[in-house]
Chains A and B, each alone.
Chain A
């Protein structure tokens, strides 16, 4: 009996493995489909006008990343950036332009305003389009504006 049981157990194991593998396969298929479908669709959407290859090098254009760049110089960690803390001379001009009330301090609100105005200015269409989890619709437009303009010859990436 014990042997039989063992045999039974043994013979049950492979089939249960098959069932489990099958189930996992189904589950992964099911779970893979939505994301797979999403990006799949999103890709062509963004690709239309500009090309998803674009902007990949600096695609992390989020408000958080933008603010974090400024605050990487925030020496006293008060969440603002003063002109004294600005150690990068290359950003002096932008600092001035962003400091709307000219108090020598960049608040996160001012950083946000800059981010939003420059984003809507058309610049970063590319990266937004790529981000495109929202699919082909909305982001498709900005993606196009960011699109490669280098008309004549294709610029190798």
Chain B
């Protein structure tokens, strides 16, 4: 009896080792998600941050006048290359208002008259335990020289910048003429910086929503 047992055990061991080896050589199971492409910060990261930095860009502090534009609920997750959520990261967004003015003195200075003073222009949010972030903002519009409407993103851990990128509207006709969109890379890279902006069903105010997941590449010092 004792002689018989070791063999099956050995077989079991071999089998489990082979299975484990099989797992490790199977690409798909351990494939990394593709990192979100890094794109230029552009010249208009606010030079003076607004007093109100929250995730509602449509209303500044207690103002009763909301910003002009199509209201958009923008949300998503920040994930690592294995698809696990990363909590406690700061997601910042900034974009021009509906009148094509950024919250930056070099842009808002010369365009004082056309600036929408009710648009916050910049917002921050800390990712939840599920890696989620959300903003209430306007659907982005084209900017002179930038036919692709876009929202700038920055992901940080504390003060350390992990990713700077941009979000564009999937299928927008301006994308094909946009240099930054082209710069993202091939069709896959370009896909990773787009999201559908769709009307929220039954929204009485005609609000839109967009979901945009961000995957951070793996760098040794950025492990969490």
Chain B residues within 8 Å of A93, by CB: 170, 191, 196
The answer for the CA separation of A22 and B152 in the assembled complex, in Å, is 55
Q: Is the CB of B31 within 8 A of A73?
A: yes
Q: Is the CB of B177 within 8 A of A118?
A: no
Cβ-based interface call for A52 (8 A): no
Q: Is the CB of B179 within 8 A of A126?
A: yes
Task: Give the bracket for the number of chain A residues in contact with chain B.
Answer: 35 or more
Q: Is the CB of B187 within 8 A of A115?
A: yes
> Can you name the residue of chain A whose Cβ is closest to the Cβ of B177?
A149
Q: Is the CB of B187 within 8 A of A94?
A: yes
> Can you name the residue of chain A whose Cβ is closest to the Cβ of B36?
A90
Interface of B is mostly: loop
The answer for the CA separation of A150 and B146 in the assembled complex, in Å, is 6
Contact with A along B171-205 (1 / 0, CB 8 A): 00000111111111111111110001000000000
B59: shortest Cβ distance to chain A, in Å? Answer: 29
Cβ-based interface call for B126 (8 A): no
Cβ-based interface call for B8 (8 A): no
Contact with A along B37-60 (1 / 0, CB 8 A): 111111100000000000000000
Chain A residues within 8 Å of B20, by CB: none
Cβ-based interface call for A157 (8 A): yes
Chain B residues within 8 Å of A65, by CB: 186
Task: Tell me whether A74 and B28 are in contact in the complex, defined as CB-CB below 8 angstroms, given that A58-B37, A66-B187, A94-B191 are known contacts.
Answer: yes
Contact of A73 among B27, B43, B179, B190 (CB under 8 A): B27
> Can you name the residue of chain B whose Cβ is closest to the Cβ of A59?
B185
Cβ-based interface call for B147 (8 A): yes
The answer for the CA separation of A69 and B185 in the assembled complex, in Å, is 12
Contact with B along A85-99 (1 / 0, CB 8 A): 101111101100000
Chain B residues within 8 Å of A50, by CB: 179
Q: Is the CB of A75 within 8 A of B182?
A: no
The answer for the CA separation of A154 and B185 in the assembled complex, in Å, is 21
The answer for the CA separation of A85 and B28 in the assembled complex, in Å, is 7
Cβ-based interface call for B26 (8 A): yes
Contact of B181 among A59, A60, A123, A127 (CB under 8 A): A123
The answer for the CA separation of A65 and B179 in the assembled complex, in Å, is 21
Q: Which of A76, A151, A152 has the most CB of B within 10 A?
A: A152
Cβ-based interface call for A42 (8 A): no
A150: shortest Cβ distance to chain B, in Å? Answer: 5
A-B contact pairs, 25 of them (CB 8 A): A55-B183, A57-B39, A57-B185, A60-B185, A61-B185, A69-B34, A87-B33, A88-B33, A89-B213, A90-B33, A93-B170, A93-B191, A94-B187, A118-B190, A119-B186, A123-B176, A123-B181, A124-B186, A126-B182, A146-B182, A147-B179, A149-B177, A152-B145, A153-B43, A155-B180
Given contacts A71-B27, A125-B182, 14 further A-B contacts (CB under 8 A): A59-B185, A61-B186, A69-B186, A75-B27, A76-B28, A87-B31, A90-B191, A118-B190, A122-B177, A123-B187, A145-B182, A146-B182, A147-B179, A153-B106
Chain A interface residues toward B at CB < 8 A: 50, 54-55, 57-61, 65-66, 69-77, 85, 87-91, 93-94, 114-115, 118-119, 121-127, 145-157
What 10 A-B pairs come out closest when comparing CB atoms? A75-B28, A151-B145, A58-B185, A149-B179, A118-B187, A123-B182, A94-B191, A150-B145, A153-B43, A61-B186
